[in-house]
Chain A
Amino acid sequence: MIDLEIKNHAVLNLFGIEIWITDTIISTWIIMGVLIAFGIVVRIKVRNFKEVPTGFQNVVEALVETFEGYLRSTIGDKLMFLGSWFFTLFLFILLSNLSGLLPGMRTPTADWSMTVGLALVTFFLIQAMGVKYRGAGYVKDLFAPLPWWCPIPLFLPINVIGELARPISLSFRLFGNMLAGLIMMSLIYALFPVFAMFVIPAALHAYFDLFSGVLQTYIFVTLSMTFISGAAEVAEA
């Protein structure tokens, strides 16, 4: 039986602020641990990387190179300095989505506090890149299609709502999909406990965790990149 609830394992009281150590936090730490361990292995091995890659080096280089190609084609050379953030985002969301396959792990992305946190980072990056590359033009665009000096900013509220809707839609899309998969699997395990133990789980996990997990990772990261590059790009036109 998969537990749908995000359980609290401890409460850290720091300067009077209560921090709940939830399933999500623990799963996040485990995923962080795995990725950091992988990073340490790469960091150690990178000293002995050869001119012609083989084996592990090939895998690591292919991973970074493929991601960089995908990043470059989506956000262009101008925003490549955000590469390490998107690389982390991609690997973290992917492992988070796939972590539901492991027993005892609760998918961190099936917690809205995780997805909205990541979406808020995207939101702040959109605003920051917009202002950085377009300056006042980005703010003026909030009044579009009317000119910014128009006495009645008719479209300002709509545009502001449009901007605010981005992190909400991003976060709920990922959260909703992952939670839906979790609920579906939970229901199947609850309704067909014996049958689900032998035949069904593999195919359903392949769809709800593997396929949906990879797809939602791709969608979240691609949309984040597109929003950010869109905010920065119009200035060039």
Chain B
Amino acid sequence: MDFGFLISAAEIITTDLPPGRVFGIDQATLINIIANVANVAILAGFLAYLLYKPVRTILNKRTNKIQGQLIQAEEELEKATELRRNYEQKMEDVEREREEILSEARKTAADSGRRILAEAKKEADTIRERAAANVEMEWERAENDMRTAIIDVSAVMAEKFVSLAINKETHDRLFDETLSDLEGMTWRD
């Protein structure tokens, strides 16, 4: 493109300049306003491209990254919490199962104990009854033995007494009377 027309249109005057001033409202002020706004607008464009937007992009990326990490951390925390909950549930189940097994074992042990006691009692009763029967038998036997012994002793004592108290004649007479009685009884029968 040919920019020659711009060069020919632009003319820079450095001599015979307008006087300086502090404040004024005229065409020159209006043009300066436009020039100043244009300058600041150009500066805004440059700063947005060079400084503000790139730094903001970096800050936003970092913020997003941190937020992503926070979200990930929250998700992992949630997973860990879920795992812990499951673990605790399992531990509770195990504990409950252990309690059930223990309870069952206690119950079984108690039943067995009762049964063994009952059997032992029954056996003891049997033994006691048998022992009582034996005692009874022994008692009867002892009574019989005692009776026999008493009879024997009585007989010996009677014999001794009779031998001391009855003489030959009395003895013979009693003997005869007894024989007579026995003979009489036989006859009657």
Q: A residues touching B (Cβ–Cβ < 8 Å)?
A: 3-15, 17-20, 22-25, 28-29, 32, 35-36, 38-40, 42-43, 46, 49, 51, 60-61, 64-65, 68, 83-85, 87-89, 91-92, 108, 111-114, 116-118, 120-121, 179
Residues of B within 8 A of A179 (CB): 22
Q: Can you list 14 contacts pairing A with B, beta carbon distance less than 8 Å?
A: A6-B22, A12-B13, A14-B10, A19-B32, A20-B31, A22-B32, A36-B43, A39-B49, A83-B56, A84-B52, A88-B43, A118-B36, A121-B40, A179-B22
The minimal Cβ–Cβ distance linking B52 to chain A, given in whole angstroms, is: 4
7 tightest A-B contacts by CB?
A39-B50, A5-B20, A84-B48, A88-B44, A113-B32, A7-B20, A13-B11
Q: Name A's interface SS.
A: helix
Complex alpha-carbon distance, A4 and B37, angstroms: 23
Question: B39 and A20: CB pair below 8 A?
Answer: no
Residues of A within 8 A of B12 (CB): 10-13
Residue of B nearest to A3 (CB): B20
Question: B48 and A13: CB pair below 8 A?
Answer: no
Known contacts A8-B17, A14-B9: does B33 contact A113 (CB below 8 Å)? Answer: yes
The minimal Cβ–Cβ distance linking A4 to chain B, given in whole angstroms, is: 6
Pick the residue among A22, A49, A112, A120 that contacts B23 (CB under 8 A): A112
Residue of B nearest to A8 (CB): B17
Complex alpha-carbon distance, A49 and B54, angstroms: 11
Does any Cβ of A come within 8 Å of B64's Cβ?
Answer: no
The minimal Cβ–Cβ distance linking A48 to chain B, given in whole angstroms, is: 11
Residue of B nearest to A118 (CB): B40
Complex alpha-carbon distance, A118 and B40, angstroms: 8
Question: A35 and B31: CB pair below 8 A?
Answer: no
The minimal Cβ–Cβ distance linking B17 to chain A, given in whole angstroms, is: 5
The minimal Cβ–Cβ distance linking B59 to chain A, given in whole angstroms, is: 6
Known contacts A42-B54, A120-B37: does B59 contact A20 (CB below 8 Å)? Answer: no
Residues of B within 8 A of A118 (CB): 36-37, 40
